[in-house]
Amino acid sequence: MTISHEQSSAIYDQIRELGLLGGAPSSQMRLQFQTAGAAAARASMTLEETMSYALQALLPENDSVDRAHEEFLSGALAAIAAGYSSAQLARFPVGQVRDTIDSPLISRLNALHRISRAATITTSSTEYLRQSVQSIIEVTGANAVTVFGFDRPTNSLTLVGQHGFDPALTGTMSIRGDRGITGRAMQTGKAVFAEDVASHPDWIVSPTLQDGRYRSQATLPMRLSNPDRLVGVISLWWNDPRSFDEDERVFLKDIAAELAIGVEYTQLHSLTDERLRRKIIELGTLQRVSRTVASALDLNDVLRFVSESAVELTNAESAAVFRLPSPGKDEPSSPLVEYRVGAARQVSDQSSRDALLSDVINSGSARAVDMDYVDGSNILYCMPLSSARERWGALCVRLKSGMEVTEDDLALLQAFTDTASIAIENAELYEEARRSAETASTLLQEMHHRVRNNLQTVAALLSLQLRQVEGSEAERHLQDAIGRVQAIASVHDLLSDETRLSGATIDSIARLVADELKVTLIPPTMSVMFEIEPTDVVVPTRQATVLALLFNELISNSIEHGFAGLERGRIVIRTWRSGDLVTIEVMNDGQKLPAEFDPNANSGIGLRIIQRMVESDLKGEFTIEQRDDTTVARMTFPGLN
């Protein structure tokens, strides 16, 4: 049959119009290229004629092809060939085509056709992957295949399809996307062809897959082009080292692209309204339990929340948190149960359970096994609990009879264990910080005790010296010195209380100094009443010591000068805070200040000490004035928050 010029021109124009769009072929564009290929087949064009027309339509006028256009050509020609092959298969019996056509190109086109068609005849992603993996095995001769689905929230990969490995791993094995050849393909978005895997820099053996028996590997990211998004990663293994020619590399990339479209389509189709509602409920539960777990700081509380929340999320029969034995401690070598929720059941072979836990903890990959107990068997699903600092242990849930772990459950648990690992690490860090704080508190308490004892010894020695100078000018100076030393000693005694290690309130310091001076300074013939108003203003150790000396000087001055010649007097001390400033007033109702009194010109050592300490040690201001019948000494200084 001879093709008409009008037919060939129409097909040429259709392909050229698509080619002008440029860029990587989207799924919609692939379908249009397939339609053009099918039209050529129905018009009785040969495959060679079809490809020739396509090349003429798609090649630039200067025949210059860069890397991006080369990939576009590859995808477009593959789609045209797939459409052509599909139309030809519809025209002739499949058996006849297989018997008469024995071409690697046709075999590959047929495989692409079967992978593409499988997505339209089944809504189950599991069945779609089973059929697709079988087609890939047949056309490539690979000895094993794995298809990992990408979970964006956890940045992890879950095994969703395979051939050549343990079937029980499908749907239960999860790996991080940052290790090995698979991680390289995921992170870079580029295919990796390892002709001899043992010599590849990113090659590592998975103890779960046990893939060390294979010698060559091709790993390709499954990406959607519009929008650009990772769907998963496919890997093919061969028993012997082998090379990959350019045609085979292009073909394997086409397989990955077709799988991305098919997996996305079947997954979207399977998300019914009921599953979406369940997903919303599960995510709400995950958010709630994660917030609860993350808010706890006590390790025992965290482990209890983790175990209880795991049961709630999965509706499991039981859950337990296992940890590795602590190095240097007299503990069994096998993982230890730290917390359990639900009834305990005895395993038939504890060594097999311990081996499972060790594999999960050391590999960082989740595992599910059908565990044998003395009273039956149940699926045991274990996930690693690890942080950037260490591999801590594992969380295991024992499912109820007849239950299975779905891909959604796997992603949910993976996200939860990530939060649980962070919460456990936070609790351990908090415990370390608490122990360090207790040690520092004990040391600080001991320091205050020793300083107080040393100061009291100094005061006692000065008191002995005082007896030898009674009646002399030195007596008053020694009394002042003893009062100052005892004031500081009293503050250190106050701060040695473990409840006041971080500081003391100003009223408690003033009350302590006043009580000391009542005994040592006020003569029996004089009655002095103290009114110290309560305050919640707290000062640290350094300021507390300075204030003790200041209170000692101000109260001493009030007694010695203000109440000189009087039988009674009243001293009022009050404190308040305004913004960042603290103000203290020490008032007495004794003799008034002289009218010409100037504190700056006064040569008394007491006032000089007060002024210097307020300005240099407290970085504040000191004033003294007469208010009617009351003498008021005021100190204002920046307070510490």
pLDDT at 116 over 90: no
CATH 3.30.565.10 corresponds to the domain 469-638: yes
For residues 414-421, give the mean pLDDT.
78
Residues 325 and 335: beta-carbon distance below 8 Å: yes
All CATH 3.30.565.10 domain ranges of the chain, comma separated, are 469-638
Lowest mean pLDDT: which of 72-81, 201-210, 347-356, 507-516? 72-81
Q: What is the pLDDT of residue 448?
A: 56
Q: What is the pLDDT of residue 217?
A: 95
Model confidence pLDDT, tens digit, residues 438-448: 665 565 566 65
Per-residue pLDDT for 141 more than 50?
A: yes
Calculate mean pLDDT across residues 26-53.
78
Lowest-confidence pick of 7-21, 135-149, 354-368: 7-21
Tell me the three-class secondary structure of 599-624, residue by residue.
Answer: CCCCCCHHHHHHHHHHHHHCCCEEEE
What are the pLDDT digits (tens) for 92-113? 554 444 444 446 777 888 888 8
The boundaries of every CATH 3.30.450.40 domain in the chain are 274-434
Q: Residue 208, SS3?
A: coil
Which pLDDT score, from 0 to 100, does residue 273 have?
A: 47
Confidence of residue 491 (pLDDT cuts 50, 70, 90): low
User: What's the pLDDT band for 38 if we cut at 50, 70, 90?
Assistant: confident
Residue 189's identity, in one-letter code, is G
For position 99, what pLDDT does the model report? 46
Alpha helix ranges (H) inside 469-540: 473-495, 506-520
Task: Give the residue from 96, 97, 135 showing the smallest Cα distance to 116.
Answer: 135
Mean pLDDT lowest for which of 42-46, 118-122, 189-193, 206-210?
Answer: 118-122
Q: What is the structure's pLDDT at 104?
A: 73
Chain mean pLDDT for the chain? 79
Query: What CATH number has the domain spanning 274-434?
Result: 3.30.450.40
Q: Tokens representing 179?
A: 């290790």
- The per-residue pLDDT for 190 is 92
DSSP, collapsed to helix, strand or coil, labels residue 386 as: strand
As a whole-number percent, the residues of the chain with pLDDT over 70 amount to 75
Kindly tell me if the per-residue pLDDT of 614 is higher than 50.
yes
Residue in the structure block whose two tokens are 């690697």: 104
Q: How confident is the model over 534-579, as pLDDT tens digits? A: 999 998 877 887 888 888 889 888 888 889 888 899 999 999 999 9
